[in-house]
Amino acid sequence: MIFSWLRERRRRSLRSGPFPEPWREALEQNVRDYRDLGQDEQATVRRYVQVFAAEKHWEGCGGLTITDEVRVTIAAQVGILVLGLGDQYFDHVLSILIYPAAYVAPGAATSSGAGVAEADSARLGEAWYRGPVVLSWTDVLAGGRRRTHGNVVYHEFAHQLDMLNGRNVDGTPPLETAQQDRRWLEVTDEEFRRLTHECAHGRHTLIDCYGATNRAEFFAVITETFLTRPHAMQELHPELYAILSEVYRQDPARRSTARR
């Protein structure tokens, strides 16, 4: 109880402080989705960045030097992911490790138990139960600047949302009601089967075929698509878009249209 009170008091202090101009410039330059937000939403993301950047242990790997630009660029994308979820700071994630680019890690991919390591040995990111999250800075920038349809920050922190239910990474984030749980399973089961079928036959899909690997990767990949290609998802997968909008409590298609 006392610890929670002290933590919230510290967070209020961090959120009330001035937002450095170089940080704002990093947001504008490196986080394309930030520019689609309304003014109030941008302010919410900035306040989130002030807390997230301060609370996590940031470690550069493979010669990468951690700078404010690195912290702010990553923290802002996490903030956009959880924009509608209140004060979700991923308290169980203590450390964020960043490599300069894709890195080689030994061992097979894991999608249950302790966490999720992406399948290829040359990895863009990993997410582990109670941390750390591991990211490639090159790919963080590519996703943040929309040079690719993928977004490694959204992907790995979607895995962390999945893990909030416990160590079993099953592609189901925390849901509010039994009705929402039934609807989630109904929609995602059908969409997962559809993706698996389309990918097995070599057909073009909006949702990356990596999502057909298992249910954990499916959730992470549809989260990326929901946030980076919302109009296309709303058109081609309307029920999936609707349930994701309900779960994340945000409507990226609406806001990106409004900002055009």
153: alpha, beta or left, given left = phi > 0 and alpha = psi -120 to 50? alpha
| All structural domains of the chain | 2-156 (1.10.472.150), 178-258 (no CATH)
The closest alpha carbon to 37, from 186, 9, 47, belongs to 47
CA dist., res. 111 & res. 259, Å (int): 37
Whole-number Å distance between alpha carbons of 27 and 219: 26
pLDDT band at residue 258 using 50, 70 and 90 as cut-offs: low
Beta bridge partners of 126: 117, 134
Distance CA 228, CA 44 (A): 19
pLDDT in tens, 178-203: 999 999 999 999 999 999 999 999 99
Burial of 195 (C-beta count, 10 Å sphere; 0-12/13-18/19+): buried
Residues whose CB falls within 8 Å of the CB of residue 257, separated by 6 or more in sequence, listed in order: 231
Q: Quote the DSSP letter at residue 97.
A: E
CA pair distance 151, 128, nearest whole angstrom: 18
pTM of the complete model: 0.90
Each residue's pLDDT tens digit, 58-93: 999 999 999 999 999 999 999 999 999 999 999 999
Please state, in angstroms and rounded to a whole number, the distance separating the CA atoms of residues 7 and 1: 10
167 band by pLDDT with thresholds 50, 70 and 90: low
Tokens of 197: 């079928």
**Both tokens assigned to 31:** 């986080």
DSSP 65: P
- Averaged pLDDT of the chain: 90
Mean pLDDT of 195-215: 96
Residue 58 has φ and ψ, to the nearest 5°, of -105, 130
As a whole number of angstroms, the distance between CA 113 and CA 104 comes to 21
Q: Which helix (H) or strand (E) holds 115?
A: strand 115-117
Task: Identify the burial level of 104 via C-beta atoms within 10 angstroms of its C-beta, where 0-12 means exposed, 13-18 middle and 19 or more buried.
Answer: exposed
Cα separation of 20 and 39, whole Å? 17
Quote the pLDDT of residue 149.
84
Pairing of strands 125-128, 115-117: antiparallel
Residue 204: per-residue pLDDT: 95
What is the predicted pLDDT for the residue at 115?
55
